[in-house]
């Protein structure tokens, strides 16, 4: 068992939340992201948003193969990346990880860990590996 100080579990980039939810973006955000990607809004909407959402003021990021189209899997790794991390939309920036979140708990299962009594529970080896990994994120 390893205590999580101040109930503060950092994001360990498992990507579960990016697989589970379709993020909503405003038209202003969509325009900004399109600009950063060097394409116009029309092309951005065609390539990266869900045509089933009939929005004109807001849009949903497209999901492909079960995850946000901007999620990047890293083969052989438990971690993922976001292709637009530095200019991701507000809904993504506002999302905070935490030990109480089922999504983060789901990601912890990949490390052989669970949350118990407010701390990380698992084998000593699993906890050591996870904490070493967290150190690399600092």
Q: Which residues bind ligand SF4 (CB under 6 A)?
A: 11-18, 23, 61, 68, 70-71, 82, 84, 88, 92, 97, 101, 103-104, 107
Contact criterion met (CB below 8 Å) for 59 and 68: no
What are the DSSP calls for 48-115, one per residue? Answer: HB-TTS--SSEEEBPEETTEETTEEE-TT-S-EEETTGGG--HHHHH----TT-HHHHHHHHTTT-EE
User: Who contacts 92 (Cβ-Cβ below 8 Å, separation ≥6)?
Assistant: 23, 82
Give the chain's count of helices (H) and strands (E): 6, 9
Cβ partners under 8 Å of residue 110, min gap 6: 14, 78
| Residue where the block lists tokens 């809004």 | 41
């Amino acid at each position: 068992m390893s205590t999580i100080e101040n109930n503060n579990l950092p994001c360990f980039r498992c990507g579960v939340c990016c697989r589970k939810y379709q993020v909503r973006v405003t038209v202003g955000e969509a325009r900004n992201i399109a600009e950063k990607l060097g394409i116009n809004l029309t092309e951005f909407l065609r390539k990266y948003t869900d045509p089933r959402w009939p929005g004109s003021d807001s849009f949903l990021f497209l999901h492909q193969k079960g995850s946000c189209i901007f999620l990047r899997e890293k083969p052989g790794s438990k971690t993922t990346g976001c292709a637009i991390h530095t200019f991701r939309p507000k809904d993504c920036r506002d999302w905070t990880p935490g030990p109480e979140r089922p999504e983060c708990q789901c990601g912890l299962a990949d490390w052989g860990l669970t949350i118990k009594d407010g701390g990380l529970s698992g084998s000593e080896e699993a906890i050591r590996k996870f904490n070493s990994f967290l150190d690399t994120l600092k």
